[in-house]
Amino acid sequence: MAYVIAPEPIPALPVLGTADLFPVNRIFCVGRNYADHAREMGHDPEREPPFFFLKPGHALLPEGRDFPYPSSSRDVHYEFELVAAVDKAGTDIPVEDALSHLYGYAAGLDMTRRDLQLQAQKMARPWDVGKAFDYSAPCSAVAPASKIGHPEKGAIWLERNGKRVQSSDLSALIWKVPEIIAQLSKLFRLTPGDLVFTGTPAGVGPVQRGDVLHGFIEGVGDLRVRIV
Ligand code: MN
């Protein structure tokens, strides 16, 4: 048996310091997982637990490639985030086992067509057009947990054209990585190759063509993306 059309290539990220690739399946994202960002978006982090949304794996933009500004939006925002990479399937994963389901970590951007997202939100429609568009998930190489461990604290920052626009610490995550994995696995069977974007700190804002974004996560790595 053969496919009647050529399948799309499997999206993948380099594994830091190797010639190997990490194949990407789905991209899960956590909303409002830093208290300061929840507040800047007009929400009370104490009363609203974080929630999940998805991007397709083919929204991945591996490091080294430019981000093409989409013609359908006039307000594309950056959201810089710690990314966890799943390598072991699981459903209803207990918090204490969660880290054993992770291959490693990366630095990612949850690029957002804010105008389309807010419009959808206002009309009680899905977020897909605002969040799940092509190239909306730029991501660095994956750093294996066998080398870097499981980061619980450390600086996370983003510079736009050399100016620091987001700055926080991983310890400020409202829901920690094991809790996110446990919770997510109650809603979806996690599979090898799933990426989980863990939420962004305050300071989100717009990009323009010609901008260069440089994000850094202590102990994980960094990511540079040019907006074209
Ligand atoms: Mn986000």
CA distance 112 to 108: 13
Distance between Cα 59 and ligand 1 center (Å) = 14
pLDDT tens digits along 158-172: 999 999 999 999 999
Residue 23 neighbours by CB distance under 10 Å? 12
Reported confidence tier of residue 115, pLDDT bands at 50, 70, 90 = very high
Cβ–Cβ under 8 Å, residues 131 and 157:
no
List of domains in the chain: 12-226 (3.90.850.10)
How far apart are the CA of 12 and the centre of ligand 1, in A? 20
Cα–ligand 1 centroid distance for 30 (angstroms): 6
Give the SS3 label for residue 172.
Answer: helix
Ligand 1 centroid to Cα of residue 1, in Å, is 41
Task: Give 177-218 as a DSSP string.
Answer: HHHHHHHHHHHS-B-TT-EEE----S--EE--TT-EEEEEET
- Give the pLDDT mean for 42-63: 86
pLDDT at res. 32: 83
pLDDT in tens, 161-218: 999 999 999 999 999 999 999 999 999 999 999 999 999 999 999 999 999 999 999 9
**CB-CB contact of 186 with 51 (8 Å):** no
> What is the average pLDDT score of the chain?
95
Query: Among residues 206, 175, 135, 181, which one has the least CA distance to residue 32?
Result: 175
Q: How far is the CA of 70 from the centre of ligand 1 (A)?
A: 18
Both tokens assigned to 89: 């399937």
* 3-state SS, residue 69: coil
Q: Kindly give the distance from the C-alpha atom of residue 138 to the centroid of ligand 1, in angstroms, as a whole number.
A: 12
pLDDT reported for residue 44: 74
The pLDDT, as a whole number, for residue 48 is 66
E strand or H helix at 119? helix 114-122
pTM above 0.85, yes or no: yes
Residue 100 CA, ligand 1 centroid: distance in Å: 24
Centre of ligand 1 from the C-alpha of residue 28, in Å? 10
CA of 110 to the centre of ligand 1 (A): 5
Distance 199 CA to ligand 1 centre (A): 5
